[in-house]
Amino acid sequence: KREGYIKDFKEFEKSDGKRKFLEIVLKYDRNGLPVIHSIEKISKPGIRIYRSYKELKPVMGGMGISIISTNKGLITDKEARRNKVGGEVVCRIW
């Protein structure tokens, strides 16, 4: 939400209470076009990709973001570099 890619989100659990889900409402520009052009999944169940904050490079010259899973939760690559924390690279958005 802070980065301007989504309008709203909601976290919820299924009735079994075992799994959490995230419902995301995407943001659109004034012409009705999505502000997200692409989402690229980086880590996969069989191949986890971990990076230190020094190894996190800006996405599309700073026009996009990476989502990093850290011990502090999910944060952007910009926040990870600012807080000097690395983690698993979940995806890239631009």
Note whether 25 and 1 are same-domain residues.
Answer: yes
Note whether 57 and 42 are same-domain residues.
Answer: yes
Q: Residue 55 is part of a domain; what is its CATH number?
A: 3.30.1490.10
Note whether 32 and 44 are same-domain residues.
Answer: no
Note whether 60 and 18 are same-domain residues.
Answer: no
pLDDT in tens, 28-61: 999 999 999 999 999 999 999 999 999 999 999 9
Residue 13 scores a pLDDT above 90: no
The DSSP call for residue 34 is B
The continuous run of DSSP H or E covering 84 comes out as none
The model scores a pTM over 0.75: yes
Closest by CA to 88, choosing from 44, 23, 54, is 44
Note whether 54 and 16 are same-domain residues.
Answer: no
**16 φ/ψ angles, rounded to the nearest 5 degrees:** -75, -15
Note whether 4 and 18 are same-domain residues.
Answer: yes
Determine the structural domain holding residue 30 and report its residue range: 1-36
Dist CA 14 CA 76 (whole Å):
27
